[in-house]
Amino acid sequence: MPDNEFELIARYFAGGKVSRTDVILGIGDDGAVLQIPSQHELVVSMDTLVAGIHFLHESDPESIGYKALAVNLSDLAAMGAEPVWATLSLTIPEANHDWLQGFSRGFFTLANRFNVQLVGGDTCRGPLAITVQLHGFVNTGEYLRRDTARPGDLIYVTGELGDAGLAMLIKKRKLAVAQQDYEYLSGRLDRPTPRVTEGRNLTGIARSAIDISDGLIADLRHILDASRVGAILYIDRIPVSAVFASCKDFVGPDLAWVDLAAAFGDDYELCFTIDARDRDKLRERLSDIRYTCVGEITSSTGLRCLLENGKEHMPESAGYNHFGGQ
Amino acid sequence: MPDNEFELIARYFAGGKVSRTDVILGIGDDGAVLQIPSQHELVVSMDTLVAGIHFLHESDPESIGYKALAVNLSDLAAMGAEPVWATLSLTIPEANHDWLQGFSRGFFTLANRFNVQLVGGDTCRGPLAITVQLHGFVNTGEYLRRDTARPGDLIYVTGELGDAGLAMLIKKRKLAVAQQDYEYLSGRLDRPTPRVTEGRNLTGIARSAIDISDGLIADLRHILDASRVGAILYIDRIPVSAVFASCKDFVGPDLAWVDLAAAFGDDYELCFTIDARDRDKLRERLSDIRYTCVGEITSSTGLRCLLENGKEHMPESAGYNHFGGQ
């Protein structure tokens, strides 16, 4: 067991496998020294996970380490950036070897996969919480933003929504689903694959983008508010996984599954808009993954959610909010 | 009272007065987009303050906001960097208007003074803690580091040490000192002036540098360990303020004052080393402030603390450590 924070950093965090040539000075000084290539801009994103709020106290430390980086990778994906360096602030009640080893394994699994180097941070004692800042590059001017959607744009989502919400529901209500379905769903909750490659492929074609962490409804609203436009969302076109579809009845009667897929969040897919004329181009850019058109941007503000049968249906809970409002 | 985190950010954090042209996209998207001038490197530093560990729960929020940025400014000062952008993760138990207003006032007081723009971050509910990452520039290759001290170097400190420790002692023991002395000392504890200008002036002359946040002894040891050298520290040459000197008797008998000044920390001065031949140059570089030669680097490792009378004296408690060791 390390008896001080410097040993702790050396043992669990200084040995990442990624060693980038643009890191001039990494962990171990008052600050890290980093090089940005010319003709590039820096994109930064910072997210905090607090025990009891973003994850259960008893959560598997490997998942916590993984997710602390994943949520930031997802933010950078939504900016169209290539992730390069991370800093980590880790506040822990005690220096528990098993916990730290698990956490660090989860964190570096994902860091190694995306060639992200941990370059600095802070460790201290206190209530369990993790803050990660991720740094990425874009070619100058070639980043995605949320305030640039235009009327007539088509609205898309990558992948499938609702799996994370369903996993949480199963955990909370202790529902009896097949083991292999449960594993698929918890994997989607605990170890989401951030859409980094897809985000980068969307630069120059997506007119606006955001990651779906608060739920599609809430995050699409951010695009609408920032762009001063409205949208029609074809709510039952929201794509779900085969496992989700087979478990629909667990969620509740009628449209409960739509509400979960549209509003729960934690999916870390991307929502983006494109000029309707760019549909063919989009097919080339996202040839490897499922993506679905779920609506269109309107000049009249406000969000209308329509079912295929033409009726309106607004999902009940629209996005997690830390300070009580909707 | 704001009822959601987006309103909270808009009300307390999006209105900073600094508006830098190198910030392409600031608060409000999935990430900030930032421009680094050519021929420059990026320096980043991240520090977390946790209630009950780094400050008392009942501390004045303005001081907390100020200090959350100050500790990072001090790190960048020790790197010789010009601070430019900050990100802030704020975890609070509840959205209390007075607290947030005070915190934000403290934070922006210092941000405005150093032309630092807040470009992003995160807010969430949980046990009170603040993480700030600060970003700065150096000319390519012109940064200060801690692993480059050489035998024969002279060791210096800026300003005066021990005021923060004395302030804490007075608070804890409720000692009766003159009101104006108490105000001076608490100001040094709660609102330290980071040595940003001095750090920049030391580039190209200091052979190694570190900020004194853990106490001179502990931080000098970091230089020694990283540089694989040793030092002699003339322990009673450590400079103290007139107020500190007048309150010496409160600290304890004999050399208790030395222990406090050398080991308590929280002073946010710089400790640095120079080639002995650069003494005159140093005088030009630091013409505006007090700075003091307190020792020299030796090729034999280990730290020896000597009094003017030639006797050895190692201060008792050498630096705060979060996980129990010395």
> Which pLDDT score is estimated for A16?
81
> pLDDT at position B253, please?
85
Whether the CB-CB separation of B38 and B125 falls below 8 Å is answered with no
Q: What is the CATH number of domain A5-139?
A: 3.30.1330.10
> What mean pLDDT comes out for the span A150-175?
93
pLDDT of residue B201 exceeding 80, the answer is: yes
Please choose, from the candidates B213, B226, B214, B208, the residue with its C-alpha nearest in 3D space to the C-alpha of residue B296: B208
The reported pTM is: 0.93
Q: Which residues of B are less than 8 Å from A53 in CB distance?
A: 124-126
Specify the pLDDT at position B290: 96
pLDDT band at A3, cuts 50/70/90? low
Nearest to B69 by CA among B193, B219, B216, B212: B193
Tokens coding A119: 């370059």
Distance (Å) from the alpha carbon of A179 to chain B's nearest alpha carbon? 33
Q: What are the pLDDT digits (tens) for B231-258?
A: 999 999 999 999 999 998 888 888 889 9
Q: Tell me which of A6, A21, A29 to substitute to probe the interface with B (most B C-beta atoms closer than 10 Å).
A: A29
Predicted local confidence at residue A326, as pLDDT:
34
Give the integer Cα–Cα distance in Å for B209 and B195. Answer: 12
Q: Find how far residue B57's CA is from the centre of its chain.
A: 21
pLDDT-derived band of residue B323, with 50, 70 and 90 as boundaries? Answer: low
Q: Which is more confident, B24 or A175?
A: B24
Residue B148 has pLDDT above 50, yes or no: yes
What number is the average pLDDT over the span B38-64? 94
In CATH terms, are A5-139 and A154-306 the same topology?
Answer: no
**Cα A311 to Cα B249: distance, rounded to the nearest angstrom:** 81
Contact yes or no for A30 and B211 at CB 8 A: yes
Query: Looking at the predicted structure, is the pLDDT value of residue A86 above 90?
Result: yes
| Beta-ladder partners of B130 | B49, B90
Q: What share of chain A is helix, strand, coil (3-state, %, to 5)?
A: 35, 25, 40
Q: How far apart are CA B263 and CA B217, in angstroms?
A: 6
This complex has an ipTM of 0.93
C-alpha–C-alpha distance, residues B303 and A54, integer Å: 45
- The whole-number pLDDT of residue A315 equals 87
Cβ separation of B5 and A321 shorter than 8 Å?
yes
pLDDT band at residue B326 under the 50/70/90 scheme: very low
Is the confidence at residue B322, as pLDDT, over 80?
no
- The whole-angstrom separation of Cα B272 and Cα B267 is 15
With cut-offs at 50, 70 and 90, classify the pLDDT of residue A322.
low
Across residues A181-209, what is the average pLDDT?
A: 95
Tokens of A59: 């959560």
Res B160 pLDDT > 50: yes
Contact A265, A215 (CB under 8 A): yes
Burial of A205 by CB count in 10 Å (0-12 exposed, 13-18 middle, 19+ buried)? middle
Q: What is the pLDDT of residue A323?
A: 58
Question: Is residue A325 scored above 60 in pLDDT?
Answer: no
Q: Which residue has the higher pLDDT, A318 or B185?
A: B185
Q: Specify the CATH superfamily of domain B154-306.
A: PurM-like C-terminal domain (3.90.650.10)
pLDDT surpasses 90 at A8: no
Task: Determine the average pLDDT of the residues in A191-196.
Answer: 95
- Per-residue pLDDT, B254: 85
Residue boundaries of the structural domains of chain B: 5-139, 154-306
Task: Give the mean pLDDT of B281-294.
Answer: 95
Read off the tokens for A89. 């602030």
Question: In this model, does residue B186 exceed pLDDT 90?
Answer: yes
Cβ distance A129 to B133 less than 8 Å, yes or no, reads no
The pLDDT value given to residue B325: 44
Query: Tell me: the pLDDT tens digits for A240-273?
Result: 999 999 998 888 888 889 999 999 989 999 999 9
Residue whose token pair is 């897929």: A261
- Beta strands in B103-143, from DSSP E residues, in sequence order: 117-125, 129-139
Å from B186 to nearest chain A CA? 24
Closest CA to B32 of A49, A193, A136, A180: A136
Interface test with B, best of A12, A23, A30 (most B CBs within 10 A): A30
How confident is the model over A189-210, as a mean pLDDT?
Answer: 96
Query: B79 and A31: CB-CB below 8 Å?
Result: yes
Neighbours of B148 (CB within 10 A): 16
Which has the higher per-residue pLDDT, A8 or B49?
Answer: B49
Tell me whether residues B41 and A31 touch, CB distance under 8 A.
no
Q: Which residue has the tokens 């990660």?
A: A132
pLDDT tens-digit profile of B76-133? 999 999 999 999 999 999 989 999 999 999 999 999 999 999 999 999 999 999 999 9
Confidence grade of residue A226 (pLDDT, cut at 50, 70, 90): very high
Which residues on chain A are in Cβ contact (under 8 Å) with B35?
41-42, 140
**Confidence grade of residue A187 (pLDDT, cut at 50, 70, 90):** very high
Surface-to-core class of residue B302, CB atoms within 10 Å of its CB (0-12 exposed, 13-18 middle, 19+ buried): exposed
Distance CA B205, CA B281 (A): 8
CB-defined contacts A:B, below 8 A: 224
Per-residue burial over B76-96, b if 16 or more Cβ lie within 10 Å, else e, is: bbbbbbbbbbbbbbbbbeebe
Q: Average pLDDT of B36-42?
A: 96
Per the structure block, which two tokens stand in for B317?
């408690």
Q: At what angle do helices A179-190 and A61-79 cross, to 10 degrees?
A: 60
The per-residue pLDDT for B16 is 81
A103, amino acid identity: F
Q: Map residue A90 onto helix, strand or coil.
A: strand
Can you tell me the mean pLDDT for A113-136? 96
CA distance B168 to B190: 10
Mean pLDDT estimate for chain A: 92
- H-helix or E-strand spanning residue A298: strand A291-298
